[in-house]
Each structure stands twice: as structure tokens, then as C-alpha cells.
Structure 1
Amino acid sequence: MSGRTQLMWDEAVTGYDFGRDHPMDPVRLVLTRSLVGALGLDREVTVVAAKTAGESTLRLVHREDYIDAVRAASADPASADQSYGLGTTDDPAFAGMHEASALIAGQSVGAAEALWRGEALHAVNFAGGLHHAMPGAASGFCVYNDAALAIARLLELGAERVAYVDVDVHHGDGVQAAFWEDPRVLTVSLHEHPRTLFPQTGWPEETGADGARGGAVNVALPAGTGDGGWLRAFHAVVPELLADFRPQVLVTQHGADTHFEDPLAHLAVSLDAQRAVQVACHDLAHEYADGRWLALGGGGYAVAEVVPRSWTHLVGIAAGKPVDPATMIPEGWRQEVYARTRQLGPVRMTDGRRPVSWASWEDGYDPADRLDQAVLATRRAAFPLRGLLP
């Protein structure tokens, strides 16, 4: 194996820019890459700029007419066709949109190829995780669904079982939709309850088409869920499913918008709990997927305080050089934060929630607890379809 971990990075991905005042500010990518460098993690990985996803690759998931619509809007943003979700408040059209979106997709697809061919064991594309894009429409700040495209490429290369675990605060609806009928893919999403957050999907009863029942698993978390409940839900669902499914590759999406400071959602998760789930995903990849792990970014709109730290931890974990949460952040990086955002950057790689504690599912079900009710609803809906006990 030529390199244990690949970090997928091409500065041109910052061209994925919906414009001033849009929450998806590409400065979060710039600051993440800069913090990775400031902590020396780029010396622990192979930094790779993969090629842009071409037409045939994009068509593994997306319809030809939609790709044509994205190209047209990219060339002339004023002509964007809103019937494809383009030119909307969430997904404004911008010049070069097709090229930037296809480049991000290419990084995830390239990472998947490297894992399957044994060129790397782990790969990280924190610019990716654009999980809302549908086969025929943009949605939720997402134009091309790089996560689904990476999975589709793995299947094309011969993978028979790929698991996708999404811990973004929003439901991973686009990835679920892409593989709704495909029993080769297990999609698991933990997200804020659809009653209180976009995209209003991801109910426990969404379990896959008739030929793939139990292939979609959804945990709808009550608004306000914090570290202990979030980790309890993750460990009550994900490990058992992966032990049963035995994926050949584990793909995970690590949207940082579960954080208590995120402005667009209502969970109360700390950076330290996010790091704990990243560690768990790494360990689960080694336990059940021969170590093959593709880790993606996703949402996250506290662009200076939260996102760079969360995804830098992700890179460190994938590189086998996890960052101590007590680590002080270099002053030079904090100065860059201020220069770019006029915000004061964080001082340490922790929210001070160490150690992060949680109660295992085996410790008992509390029928009065809304979090436990949510977990049990998922287990009852999906687990029997896989031959597992709820």
C-alpha cells in the first residue's frame, strides 16, 4: 500500500461558492486546510488532488438532463432552471458551478478508487459530503452528490457491500434516495427529527424499497439532544448494523452542524463528542471493513469556531495521529481566522467536554426518555428487517 491515508485537496474546491451571506461559506474549507497544516497533519498524509468527475461518472447517480441543466446554469446563472432546484435561495446559481461541483465529486470518487485498489487504507475529503443532491435536482446547498457517486463507483468496481453512515444534523436524504432499491448499500442516518428540521425526511419507518428492506436506517433525534444522547443513539444502532452487514468499505459523513453553536439547527453536541464519533467510525472500519474508510465533510455553519477544528480532528484520526483535545491552536492560524472573518478563533482543540460520557443501550431503556423512544423506534422499524432483535 503506497500511502495509509490520503487527504483529498485541490484549492479550486473553494470555488464552490454560493455568494456573500450564504451559509455555505468556502472559508470553512480554507481554514480547515490551514489548520491541518498548522498542526503538521499534512506531513502525516498523502495530499492528493483527484481529477474532476466526468460526465460518465456523474451519470452513475445523476440524470443527464439535470447535468445539462447544471452546465447551463453554470455558464449563465441568470438562466438557471428552478425546476431542477437551481437558482433558488438554498442553491443559487453561480458561474463555474458545474466545474466546482464536479471537482468536489471527483475528490470523493478518486478517494473511493484509491481505497478499492489498495492505494490507501483511509481517505478524507472534507470538502465533500454534499448529501442532499438528488439524481435530478439540487437541494440543501448540494449540487452533485459526491457521497453517492463515490459509493456508486465502488459498486461499479465490484464492491458487493458498502455501508454509509451519516451523522450530519440533517437527514442524508440524497444518498438514501440513490440506493433506496439497492441491497448492496446500507445507509444509516442520525439526524435531528424531521418535524423540526430540513429536509423533513428521515423517519424511522423509511427502511428501503421492497427488494432492499432494511437497507435504509434512520434515527430521528429530538431537538436539544446533547453529547450523551447523541453518542448513546450512535452506539445503540451503528455497530450492530455494521457487524451484521460486514461492509467491504465504510463511507461516513461528518457534518459539523450537530454542534451547539451551529446557527442552522437545534442539537447540542460538542466538538469533543463529534471527535468521539469520528474515533468510533475509524474503529468500526477496522473491525468490519478491513480498515477501508472514506470520511467526508458535510454541513457546518459555525465556519471559524467549529468546522475547522472538527474536520482537523477527523484528518488526524484518519492519519493515525489523533490530535490531543488539549492542544493549543497556533497563534498564526488564529490571526488568519481574524483576517478572513473578523472573528476571534478558538484557542484549543476542545470544547472542554472531556471526557465525553454516555450510557450504552444495554444499560436499559427508559420509556420516559425522548432519546430512548427515538432509538427504540428505529430499532423496531429496521432491525427485524435485517434479522436483528429490536
Structure 2
Amino acid sequence: MTDPVYIYDEALLKYRFNSTHPFNQMRLKMTTDLLMASGHLKQSDIVKPREATDEELELVHKRDYIEAVKLAGKGELPENKLENYGLDTEDTPSFKDMHDKSRMLVGATLTAVEAVMEGRCDKALNLSGGLHHGFSGRAGGFCIYNDTAVAIEYLRTKYNKRVLYIDTDAHHGDGVQWIFYHTNEVMTYSIHETGRYLFPGTGSLTERGTEEGFGYAVNLPIDAFTEDDSFLSIFKETLEAAIIKFKPDVIFSQNGVDAHFRDPMTHLSLTSRTFEEIPRFVNEMADKYTDGKWIAVGGGGYNIWQVVPRMWAQVWLAMNSQKAPRGRLPESYMAQYQKKCPVDFPINWEDALDDYMDIPRRDEINEKNRSMMSRAMLHLEQQ
């Protein structure tokens, strides 16, 4: 097996809406700095990304939408058209040179795909990607272009591969699901907080695909305040069942970490334990079922100081078959960021749980999740 590659360049930090927007790519630099400081990432592991072409964006995005993004990034798109394309909203405000800065993220994910498919490595990571709320003709949920969907279609059309898409973000992976809702060549698997109280409000058990794609959309909507044990048991049991059913050539995973109990935008109660185990289980599944072929991207995560760098670092460590570290973070990393941090800065790789709230209705939540999982497993068996 060849060593994994890590796609990174500081140009990827330029995907930035404004100074107060919760989507902050500084988390990407902090994760990279943490991995470098700890000796887990070397300069020789890093591959610089390329930009995606318009033709590549058009694998899933409509041409008129791409042109609208170009104009919006120059301040030249009329207000009524901005609204039609989901641009310049509260979630996805327009910003200067939006097209070029967005296509760089797509190109970074395509760089990861090419590294794996051309045999330079078995596994590749692009934490700048994972913009799963982008639609073919409309922006949504902080996402201009859907790098993940473009990459999956690239895998399907250029390399003729069956792709299993795994989404563990707290928010349902709606954009990716709807883009592939009609095909049986891609399976979308999303485990997420129920949409009753959380954007985008989709991802119910009954969303299973249509036409040839019926049965190839798998959704696991878990209850608010779900904890580690419930999440991990559902995730591991259903994911392996989906893999056995679908028989993918490649695994593509989105690794949002906004299900963490300290994330300000969701209502789940997961700790670092879950984010250590998710990528290690995916790594195990890739080695067992897809000859090690695994491409991973980032996703949500809005507590950039206390959560994202430590949790995202686990994806890279898992790709390298390394156990989750314990104890203090590197002193040089803490010296670099601790003074800038407006909240209590973590000092260990694993969570300190002194602020973890005891969960009411724990048994009820666990039972609801098990019942939901039973129905999802029944759907898989009926496929």
C-alpha cells in the first residue's frame, strides 16, 4: 500500500464569506499546523491542488449557474437573479472573486481523486472540501459549488467507478443526495441530526431515491442529544450493511465534525471518542471492501478553536492507520494559537468533559434511534 496524500495550499483559505461568517477556513490551517507540529504530517505528504475547469464544474452544475457565480463575484449580477441562484443570502453571501476561490476547493477534491485513481496512493484527504449543500443550479448552506458531487461524478464518468458516499456531518447531505437521487451507480449514505429542528430539514428515512436510484439513498436521522454509544452502534452496523449491499469500488467520505457537543450550530452530544472512531472504521471498511480506496473531505465544524483541528486531525491519522493520540497537544501548536483563542483552549488530544451536560431522556433517545435503525436496515434488506 502507498502512503496517503494530504491536499493543501494556503490558497484554499481564501474561500471566505466575511469576517463574521461561521464558515471559517482558518480551521483548515489550524488542523494542518497541529498535524505538522505533532510530526504526523510531513511536507512530503502534501500535494498542492489544481483549479477545477468550467467543464468539470458542469459535470453537476448548470452552466447558467456557473456564469451567475462569476458575475456575482464581480458584483455584476442583478439582485433578483442573486436570489434565484441562492447567492448573497445570509448563509451564502457573495464575495469577491467567488468563482475562482470556489473552484479551487473543487479542484482540490479532484486532485485527491486523481491521486488515488492514478495509483499514486490508496487514500487521499482534502479537508477544504465537503461542501455538500450545493445544488446543480443553486447555492445553499455555505456552499457555492458542490466539490463532493463533482468529484463523485468525475469518478463515475471518467473512471467508471461505483461510489459509496458517506456523510457524517450533523446536517443532512442534501445537495449530494438530490444530484444522485436517480442513479444506482452511486449510493449516498447520510447519518445526521433529524431535520425536525436543523437545516436543511431533509434526510428522512423515506427519502430512498427514485427510478433506477430507488434504494440507493440511505438516511439515518438520529435524535437531538444523541451520544457516542448510540451514534457509533448505528453507524457501524448500518454502514457495513450498506457497503455489502452496494459493493462499491471507491469510498468517498465527508467528515463534518459539527455533531460535537461543543459545536454552536447543532444539537448532538458526541465527544472526541466518536470522531476518533468514525474515520478508523471507514478506513477498516475501505481496506476490507474497496482495496483501500478511500477519498475524504472535510465539511461542517463551527467551533474552530476547541473542536475542529483535533477532530479533523483524526481523519489523517486514521488514513495512516495510527491510533488516536492521548495527552498534551504539541507545545508549539498551543503557543501559536492559545493566546489568540477567545474561549478555553484545549490542551489534550482527547476531550476534557468537565463541561459535558448530562443528557435528559437518554433511554428514550437511544430507543428512538434503535427503532429508526431497524427500519433503515429493513429498507436495505428489501433493496
Give the TM-score normalised by structure 1. 0.91
What residue in structure 1 maps to residue 350 of structure 2? 350
Answer with 118-127 or 155-164: which moved more: 155-164
Describe how 1:274-285 pairs up with structure 2 within 5 A: 274-285=275-286
Do the aligned partners of 2:241 and 2:380 also contact (CA within 8 Å) in 1? no
Q: What secondary structure, in the 3-state scheme, does the structure 2 residue paired with 1:383 have?
A: helix
**SS at 1:294's partner residue?**
strand
Task: Find the aligned partners of 1:156 and 1:4 in 2 and give their Cα distance.
Answer: 26
State the secondary structure of the residue aligned to 1:369. helix
Which deviations, in whole Å up to 9, do the C-alpha atoms of 1:1-52 show, x marking residues without a partner? 7x52110101111101111211101221121111111111222862111210
Cα distance, 1:265 vs structure 2: 0.3
Q: Cα distance 1:113–1:348, how it changes in 2: closer, same or farther (>3 A)?
A: same
Q: Within 5 A, what are the aligned runs for 1:56-67?
A: 56-67=55-66
Q: Which runs of 5+ in 1 are unaligned?
A: 354-365
Cα shift readout 1:170-214 (whole Å, capped 9, x = no counterpart): 000111111111111010000000111110000000011121111
- The answer for the alignment partner of 1:31 in structure 2 is 30
After superposition, give the CA deviation of every residue in 1:123-170 in whole Å (9 maximum; x if it has no partner).
001111110000001100011111111111111223331100100000
Which sits farther off after the overlay, 331-340 or 29-38? 331-340
Counterpart of 2:67? Answer: 68
SS in 2 for 1:262: coil
How do residues 86-165 of structure 1 correspond to structure 2 at under 5 angstroms?
86-165=87-166
Q: Distance in 2 between matches of 1:182 and 1:383?
A: 16
Contact 1:44–1:321 under 8 Å retained in 2: no
Name the CA distance, whole Å, in 1 between partners of 2:78 and 2:348. Answer: 46
* Corresponding position of 1:15: 14
Distance 1:367 1:110, change over 3 A: closer
State the match for 2:328 in structure 1: 328
8 Å CA contact 2:245–2:380 kept in 1: the answer is: no
Alignment deviations for residues 235-263 of structure 1 (CA, whole Å, 9 cap, x no partner): 22100110222211100111010100000
Q: Helix, strand or coil for the counterpart of 1:66?
A: helix
Name the structure 2 match of 1:300.
301
Contact 2:226 2:365 in 1 (8 A): no
Whether 1:177 and 2:178 are equivalent positions in the alignment is yes
In structure 1, C-alpha distance between the alignment counterparts of 2:263 and 2:138, rounded to whole Å:
26
When normalised by structure 2's length, the TM-score is 0.93
- The answer for the alignment partner of 1:200 in structure 2 is 201
RMSD, aligned α-carbons: 1.9
2:368 corresponding residue in structure 1: 370
SS at match of 1:181: coil
Q: Which residue of 1 aligns with 2:360?
A: none
1:383 lines up with 2:383 in the alignment = no
SS of residue in 1 equivalent to 2:100: helix
| Paired residues of 2:226 and 2:366 also in contact (CA < 8 A) | no
Aligned to 1:6: 5
What is the number of equivalent residue pairs in this alignment? 372
For the 8 Å contact 2:161–2:250, the answer to whether it is kept is no
Residue by residue over 1:43-93, the C-alpha shift from the partner in whole angstroms, topping out at 9 and shown as x without a partner, is 286211121001000000100011011111112277561211100000000
Contiguous gaps of at least 5 residues in structure 2: 354-363
List 4+ stretches of structure 1 deviating above 6 A: none
Q: Judging changes above 3 Å, is the alpha-carbon distance between structure 1 residues 99 and 371 closer, same or farther for their aligned structure 2 residues?
A: same
Flag the 1:338–1:177 CA change in 2: closer, same or farther, 3 A.
Answer: same
Q: Which amino acid aligns with 1:294?
A: I
Contact 2:71 2:77 in 1 (8 A): no
